[in-house]
């Protein structure tokens, strides 16, 4: 009996010393940013916390903070308690040193913007940090929009941030984020498509959230899985809406043999060309996929980058048979809830489309004639045959890639 009570006490004491779940605050330490659009970062070493993160509770007010991003870093951007980590390093508040969010190995793991609620990962899913995950620090970036309350006479301070629910009980599935990203540029006065696609060749994963990111020129960002030539939307969003993680459009899985594809539809109404780059005056084209996978094996590759316009469009993807562009949804450049199609019209796009369609026509002609006919003909005659007649050309063009749009002259 005595030992029995002793045991009970012991279990109880152990449970108190190491509760299986803890909440951890990652908050700004009473900062007073003085310039609008200041981006501040603070970080924490993950050795001090339990390794499985299952939930995120934001503490922020949308009148003050425009967005919060939480990153896992291999090494933090700075040793400072708080530093300036803006994409637009020009608005540098002299009170803070400037440094990137992470020095090395950055992975986005949570995003808050405007009215985003708390994020609870699916049951048995956690973001793992520490150990061999490559995540040694968590860095939090807050974009301060309105700073008037931090100036005299109010001189308030800010402690916005995120509370993490962590546990040391291993979860069967781990969460991760896959990034689709392009380079490229958007010519003055045009609508342009920045596109990327990659073969998926890894363990089976289950996407459950997506986030889009562009700066001011983005109109629509959409992402897809292509399996057996069939396109399925993972997510589609107006990037001018809060750039947080939304639920996927379709709960599909990704496995070896699939292709991931994404498009940012950009409209440049400014008076100069805009290229992809790291400041707010440049553009970005990002489609993030938040997923979970069985076990804790990380992906070999967690980003898909292509050069983007004017040098790369989806018709430049090497395996066109597998990509099967004619199944690309026509609403890829339409904002959810609207039916307006943003049709690309840049010179590179129009020229590229013309060439891509010419290839298709030639291939189809070849198929029809290859057996027998061509082999018996004079090569010069073959050439005149594979050059399609005008009306056939127009019909084929309209049927070839429904997800692409034909400039007036093609219609």
Residues engaged in binding ligand IYT (CB under 6 A): 69, 106-108, 179, 181, 213, 276, 278, 284, 286
Tokens at 139, concatenated = 């860095």
Q: Which residues pair with 144 in a beta bridge?
A: 38, 65
- Does residue 146 sit in helix, strand or coil? coil
Q: Which stretch binds Cu ion (CB under 5 A): 44-52, 76-84, 192-200, 284-292?
A: 284-292
Q: How far is the CB of 184 from ligand IYT (least distance, A)?
A: 10
Would residue 1 show up in a list of annotated catalytic residues for this protein?
Answer: no
Q: How far is the CB of 304 from Cu ion (least distance, A)?
A: 17
User: Is 67 among the residues known to form the active site?
Assistant: yes
Per the CB < 8 A criterion, the answer to whether 161 and 270 are in contact is: no
Is residue 59 flagged as an active site residue? no
> Is cis: bond before 296, omega within 30 of 0?
no
Choice between 70 and 191, CB closer to ligand IYT? 70
What minimum distance in Å lies between the beta carbon of 301 and ligand IYT? Answer: 14
Phi, psi of 373 (to 5 degrees): -55, -55
State the pairing for strand pair 125-128/173-182: parallel
Burial 11-40 (b: 16+ CB within 10 A, else e): eeeeeeeeeeeeebebbbeebbbeeebbbb
Should residue 143 be labelled a site residue for Cu ion when binding is judged by CB under 5 A? yes
Q: Kindly indicate which of the ranges 66-74, 91-99, 231-239, 384-392 contains the residues binding Cu ion, using the contact rule CB under 5 A.
A: 66-74
CB 59 within 8 A of CB 162: yes
Tokens of 10: 């012991």
Choices 51-59, 140-148, 368-376, 395-403; region in contact with Cu ion by CB under 5 A: 140-148
Does residue 141 have an active-site annotation?
yes
Q: Which has the closest alpha carbon to 196: 332, 355, 359, 334? A: 332
Q: Compute the least distance from the CB of residue 181 to ligand IYT, in Å.
A: 5
Active-site pick, 143, 180, 237, 290 = 143
Q: Does 211 bind Cu ion (CB under 5 A)?
A: no
Could you say which of 31, 67, 177, 312 contacts Cu ion (CB under 5 A)?
A: 67
Q: Does 85 bind Cu ion (CB under 5 A)?
A: no
Burial class (CB in 10 A: 0-12, 13-18, 19+), 284: buried
Q: Are 77 and 90 in contact (CB under 8 A)?
A: no
- Please, what is the minimum distance in Å from the beta carbon of residue 17 to Cu ion? 41
Minimum CB distance to ligand IYT smaller for 140 or for 276: 276
Interacting residues with Cu ion (CB under 5 A): 66-67, 143, 284
Instruction: Please give the positions annotated as active site.
Output: 66-67, 141, 143, 213, 215, 284
């Amino acid at each position: 009996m005595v030992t029995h009570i002793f045991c009970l006490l012991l279990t109880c004491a152990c449970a108190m010393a190491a509760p299986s779940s803890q909440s951890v605050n990652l908050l700004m330490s009473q900062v007073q940013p003085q310039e609008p659009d200041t981006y501040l970062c603070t970080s924490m070493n993950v050795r001090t916390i339990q390794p499985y993160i299952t939930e995120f509770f934001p503490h922020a007010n949308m009148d003050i903070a425009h967005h919060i991003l939480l990153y896992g870093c291999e090494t933090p951007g700075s040793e400072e308690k708080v530093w300036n980590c803006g994409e637009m390093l020009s608005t540098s508040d002299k009170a803070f040193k400037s440094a990137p969010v992470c020095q090395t190995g950055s992975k986005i793991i949570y995003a808050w913007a405007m009215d985003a609620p708390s994020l609870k990962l699916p049951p048995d899913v956690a973001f793992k940090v520490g150990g061999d995950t490559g995540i040694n620090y968590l860095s939090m970036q807050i974009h301060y929009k309105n700073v008037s309350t931090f100036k005299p006479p109010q001189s308030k301070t800010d402690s916005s941030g995120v509370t993490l629910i962590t546990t040391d009980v291993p979860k069967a599935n781990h969460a991760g984020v896959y990034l689709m990203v392009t380079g490229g540029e958007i010519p003055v006065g045009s609508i342009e498509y920045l596109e990327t696609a990659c073969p998926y060749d890894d363990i089976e994963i289950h996407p459950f959230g997506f986030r889009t990111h562009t700066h001011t020129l983005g109109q629509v960002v959409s992402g897809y899985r292509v399996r057996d030539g069939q396109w399925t939307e993972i997510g589609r969003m107006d990037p001018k809406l809060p750039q947080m993680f939304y639920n996927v459009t379709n709960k599909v899985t990704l496995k070896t043999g699939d292709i991931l594809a994404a498009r940012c539809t950009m409209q440049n109404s400014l008076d100069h060309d805009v290229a992809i780059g790291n400041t707010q005056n440049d553009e970005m084209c990002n489609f993030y996929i938040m997923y979970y996978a069985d076990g804790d094996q990380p992906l070999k590759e967690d980003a898909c980058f292509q050069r983007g316009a004017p040098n790369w469009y989806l018709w430049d993807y090497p395996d066109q048979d597998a990509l099967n562009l004619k199944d690309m949804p026509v609403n890829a450049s339409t904002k959810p809830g609207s039916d307006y199609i943003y049709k690309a019209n840049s010179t590179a796009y129009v020229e590229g489309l013309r060439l891509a369609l010419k290839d298709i026509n030639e291939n189809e002609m070849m198929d029809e004639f290859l057996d027998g006919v061509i082999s018996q003909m004079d090569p010069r005659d073959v050439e005149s045959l594979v050059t399609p007649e005008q009306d056939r050309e127009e019909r084929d063009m309209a049927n070839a890639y429904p997800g692409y749009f034909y400039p007036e002259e093609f219609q």
